[in-house]
Amino acid sequence: MKDKIEKIQAEIEAYRAEQPEQAEAFRLKYLTKKGVIPSLFGEFKNIPPEQKKEFGKILNGLKQKAEQKYRELKEAVDRKSDQLTDDIDLTLPADFMPTGSRHPISIVRNQMIDIFKRIGFTVYTGPEIEDDWHNFSALNFVEDHPARDMQDTFFIEKDPDILLRTHTSSAQIRAMQQTQPPIRQIYPGRVFRNEAISARSHCIFHQIEGLYVDENVSFVDLKQTLYYFAKEFYGQDVQVRFRPSYFPFTEPSAEMDVSCFLCGGKGCKICKHTGWVEILGCGMVDPNVLSNCNINPEKYTGFAFGIGIERTTMVKYQIEDIRLFFENDVRFLEQFRSVV
């Protein structure tokens, strides 16, 4: 028994710990309930009574030594790990963490929505699959209008005609059918046209339609609203001009240009050396369209506009090929990481 105790004592003295786990291993081996020292105490009952006093002393001494040793080991490893923490240089640049980014079309769409929301427009979206009436007839397109042509429209079914909407103007029809004025809404969404894909045009693109119908809405309201939009979107120095145009669903109709924000109007590649960039179509809602939706054109007037999101985004970020928006090339998309 004595030899055994001496051997254990030597082991304890020689024990070294570099890591916290090694200090813990010491505690588990010697000090826990089933550890070496408590089991020695278990053997105490086999010791002849006349030796009990001496052995009791030795065992207690061993136990105290082991506890003391454990405290020292623990203190040493703790000190070591504190030093390690002190060695970390907090001024080093952090590891690069790749984050996702919004698609440029979403960025621009959200910016536009925010701008119109600030002046009281709410957001509503219509379906992408439409019938002929909402996409064409209710919007005053005559029966043989070229836009209904197979070349422009993706038809899903014939008689009755079901199609992929060719513009978001169909959503304003749905809104007017459901609500009486005042209506002040925008309709963002995807539209589809059966066009050859090239750097300038695609068969899928995005628009934001706007509609304001109430008593006494005039062309002045239209101009001021769109002027406000242009200043918020392109900057306070932007200039706008309205050119007469034609759309079946508005009368009078116009297209709005903004002064080229890249060259400030002097002429460059983006504005094709004209100093102006066309950004939207607009006009006063044709009374026929109001009647088609059971809104009294004697009482109410309204204006509408439609903005092409791809075009606006291409001009804003000088993107020369519309196909880039749909290819999901990370090298293109990650350039918009810093834009929220």
Q: Which residues bind ligand DAH (CB under 6 A)?
A: 167, 169, 209, 247, 250, 281-283, 304-306
Shortest distance in whole angstroms from residue 310 CB to ligand DAH:
12
What letters, b where the CB count within 10 A reaches 16 and e where it falls short, cover 31-45? beeeebbeebeeeee
Least distance to ligand DAH, CB of residue 157, Å: 22
Nearer to ligand DAH, 170 or 259 (CB): 170
Residues 6+ away with beta carbon under 8 Å from 79: none
Least separation in angstroms between CB 209 and ligand DAH: 5
Closest to ligand DAH by CB, 198 vs 335, is 198
The amino acid present at 282, given as its one-letter code, is: C
H or E element: which one contains 230?
Answer: helix 219-234
Instruction: Look up residue 266 and give its DSSP letter.
Output: S
Alpha carbon 31 to chain centroid, angstroms? 57
With respect to ligand DAH, which residue has the nearer C-beta, 209 or 257? 209
CA–CA dist 86, 77 (Å, integer): 14
The answer to whether the CB of 241 falls within 8 A of the CB of 256 is yes
Nearest-approach distance from CB 136 to ligand DAH, in angstroms: 11
CB of 312 to ligand DAH, least distance (A): 13
Q: Nearer to ligand DAH by C-beta: 229 or 247? A: 247
Please report, as a single letter, which amino acid is at residue 33.
K
40 versus 285: smaller Cβ distance to ligand DAH: 285
Shortest Å distance, C-beta 270 to ligand DAH: 21
In angstroms, give the least distance from the CB of 168 to ligand DAH.
Answer: 7
User: Residue of minimal CB distance from ligand DAH?
Assistant: 306
**Measured from the CB of residue 194, what is the shortest distance to ligand DAH in angstroms?**
14
Q: Give the CA distances from residue 313 to residues 31, 109, 113, 188, in Å, rounded to whole numbers and listed in that order.
A: 72, 9, 14, 14
The verdict on whether omega for the bond into residue 49 sits within 30 degrees of 0, i.e. cis, is no
Decide if 297 contacts 291 (C-beta within 8 A): yes
Nearest residue (CB) to ligand DAH, 17 versus 302: 302
Which two three-digit tokens encode residue 13?
């003295």
Q: How many CA atoms lie within 13 A of 31 on its CB side?
A: 15
Q: With respect to ligand DAH, which residue has the nearer C-beta, 188 or 306? A: 306
Phi (first) and psi of residue 206, to 5 degrees: -120, 145
Please, is 230 exposed, middle or buried when counting C-beta atoms within 10 Å of its C-beta (0-12, 13-18, 19+)? buried
Helical (H) or strand (E) element with 187: strand 183-192
